[in-house]
Chain A
Amino acid sequence: MDIRAAKDRSLLYSNIRSFFTDRGYLELETPTLSPDLIPEATIDDFASLFSNEFSVTHEMYMIPSPEIFIKKFLAENPVSVFEISKCFRNCEQLGRTHNPEFTMLEYYTIGFDEKDSIALTEEMIRKTALENCPESVLRPFEILTVREAVLKYTGLDLDSLQNPRDLRAAAEKLGLPVPGPEPWDDTFNRIFINFVETALPTDHPVCLTDYPKQIECLAKVQGNYRRRWELYINGLEVANCYFEEDDEDIARDYYRREYQKLLSLRSNNGKTIPDVDESFCDIFANFPRCSGVAIGLDRLLMTETGASDIDSVLLFPFSRMLGL
């Protein structure tokens, strides 16, 4: 338990709050328990029970992201907002860069698209950085599309590999065994994790833009890709940004398909199956044009303090509490 970790975190949060409130963003505080979640098939959930002996028991879920509440707020109050929120993702795999309870900074800027969010994020990181933050964190972002990165590090052109069978053949040619037919995005992740993520430079931040549309999420689609970027610092994925989807029909379609995927993955293994409420998509009837960024603050702290393990920036990491 390092008091320095506590001091660094407190200072970073204070700097972040000043940065956003000085620019007119409203700070929100939204619940950590919700009766339903936005479906995400590969994020596992913590469940709890709201029980009262005189009324019906409700299963409640710890939020994996404040997105669900922030978006409901934005539909009625289209103002730029930010929130520093605890998030919860249940998982059996603990590693150097994951703790099931972690802290996310999310900020949504009205009128922005994801490209506008890049400059804002660069400025925010630079202006809020801790005193001994390494240069590698503060340098200007190298910006390239996922397609360009894949081409650079594997020679493959994603545009010509939109068929899952073709992508699988390409993966196997790179020496990656693919055990059987699988969704396009799974094969893409095999290639991406083995060849691209590990090759990214670590002496400056890298902003990978335009992720393949096959990776489903609530970011607008354009051609074969989505208006989305992720930020890598020291080879670690630290932030995710969308040009937020605001079409009601597309959002509903996502809800249904993603929930089916979730059910098929979890029906037989005892994992929590959260309730989802499709009426959430009603908010898109009147949703402001905006771009949202989510930054893992524990990971940002890791990069700014030179920590190689998330446990170093946490006072009470899961692994220590559970003796793992």
Chain B
Amino acid sequence: MIKAGQIDKGTALLIKGAPFICVEREFVNPGKGSAFVRLKLKSPTTGQVLQETIKSQDSVEDINVEQMDYQYMYNDGENFHMMNVDTYDQFEVPMANFEGYELLMKDGETYRCTVYNDEILDIQIPSKVVYLVAEAEEAIKGDTVQGATKFVTTETGLRVRVPIFIKQGEKIRVNTETKEYLERVNS
């Protein structure tokens, strides 16, 4: 058990028996009275988001989570198939719990995961990732409406708006949170 005031972003808690991860934390004090903390919590299994403002001195159940490395093998449309790089144990993680991750994870790549009770609670995708441009649409000559940009599709199927000079086979660095192009990467 820990005090609510000790919770930080990334702390994993048990709320009514279900695991939640703190995604945001803000301190709030009433004019006169005990200190409070406002928490935004996300369930990695259901995607449910909770907002709770509780006393900093309230006890909450934190859960011991482990950070382990898993290799992403493939997905079958319903589950991601991940393999623990140390034990070679294979795990299925419902894709519904990590919406859109199939566009960000590269086959064969290793990702740091938060694990609790043999269940993968969180897959940490680095905020900036280099992807191969698998398909690049033709820039339409004279099309100045969109500015000097066009769309490409990465090896993972992610569609990114990029400058027109980006070609198929090139590598680009992408912000995985905003899905925005950052820069071309020279191999």
Contact = CB atoms under 8 A, between A and B. Distances in A.
A193 interface: yes
Nearest to A216: B32
B14 to A, nearest CB: 13
A189 B53 CA distance: 10
B142 interface: no
Given A92-B5, A179-B58, A179-B59, A186 B26 contact: no
A32 B66 CA distance: 49
A42 B59 contact: no
Interface centre among A40, A42, A94, A185 (most CB of B within 10 A): A42
A276 interface: no
A174 to B, nearest CB: 12
B35 A190 contact: no
B29 interface: yes
A186 B33 contact: yes
Nearest to A208: B31
Interface residues of A, number: 24
Interface residues of B, number: 19
A75 interface: no
B26 A185 contact: no
B27 A94 contact: yes
A240 interface: yes
A91 B34 CA distance: 11
Interface centre among A179, A216, A237 (most CB of B within 10 A): A179
A286 interface: no
Contacts of A155: none
A189 B31 CA distance: 10
B31 A186 contact: no
A112 interface: no
A189 B36 CA distance: 9
Nearest to A175: B52
B27 A193 contact: no
Contact of B53 (A96, A98, A194): A194
Given A186-B55, A194-B53, A42 B34 contact: yes
Interface string A245-277: 000000000000000000000000000000000
A60 interface: no
Given A192-B30, A237-B31, A93 B54 contact: no
Nearest to A44: B35
Contacts of B33: 42, 185-186, 189, 215
A236 to B, nearest CB: 11
Given A189-B34, A193-B53, A194-B53, A93 B29 contact: yes
Contacts of A93: 5, 27, 29, 35, 37, 56
A190 B29 contact: no
A193 B31 contact: no
B31 A240 contact: yes
Nearest to B51: A194
A186 B53 CA distance: 13
A98 B54 contact: no
Contacts of B56: 93
A289 B187 CA distance: 79
B24 to A, nearest CB: 12
Nearest to A43: B32
A230 B27 contact: no
Interface in B92-132: none
A42 B55 CA distance: 12
A93 B29 CA distance: 9
Contacts of B5: 92-93
Interface centre among B31, B56, B58 (most CB of A within 10 A): B31
Contacts of A185: 33
Given A216-B32, A230-B31, A237-B30, 5 more contacts: A91-B35, A96-B26, A179-B59, A193-B28, A193-B53
Q: What are the 10 A-B residue pairs with the smallest beta carbon separation, nearest first?
A: A95-B27, A93-B27, A189-B33, A189-B30, A194-B53, A193-B53, A215-B32, A237-B31, A193-B36, A179-B58
22 contacts: A42-B32, A42-B33, A42-B35, A92-B5, A93-B27, A93-B37, A93-B56, A94-B27, A95-B26, A95-B28, A95-B29, A96-B26, A186-B55, A189-B33, A189-B34, A190-B54, A193-B36, A193-B53, A215-B32, A215-B33, A237-B30, A240-B31
Interface of A: 40, 42, 91-96, 98, 177, 179, 185-186, 189-190, 192-194, 215-217, 230, 237, 240
